[in-house]
Amino acid sequence: MMAEETSSKQPVMAWLGDKPVYADQVRKLADIATDVQPQTWKPANVAAKKLFRCVECLRDLEVLLQTAGRSKSKVKRRRKLKILLTPLHSLVETIRDLANDLENKSRHSMLAA
């Protein structure tokens, strides 16, 4: 039976019977805009790298939406919202790439079976 135990001071652990399956600290996702931090999670395979690209686009969109909302002038707000199109387009492309990659792997595994 697998159960998760959490504590504010202990890392998240999954147990299989009385043996731990893994012991890892909860990590933040790496941010390419900041300095390298050794305890951050970094993508290690193609699908994770594509997912990471999606997250980067979402981070860009979040910042642009926050700054656009603070603008008092309608003209400045419209201009900032027009700038949103580039990261939004990038997000759509990265989601499409990720979906295609996952679909192709799914088809490949079904053919191999």
Q: What is the pLDDT at residue 8?
A: 52
Q: What is this structure's pTM?
A: 0.62
Best mean pLDDT range from 18-27, 32-41, 73-82, 100-109 = 73-82
CA 42/CA 28 separation, integer angstroms: 9
Retrieve residue 74's tokens: 């309608």
End-to-end CA distance of the chain: 28
Rounded average pLDDT over 51-80: 87
Q: Rg for the chain (alpha carbons), in Å?
A: 20
pLDDT above 50 for 81: yes
Q: What is the pLDDT at residue 5?
A: 47
Closest CA to 25 of 12, 7, 42: 12
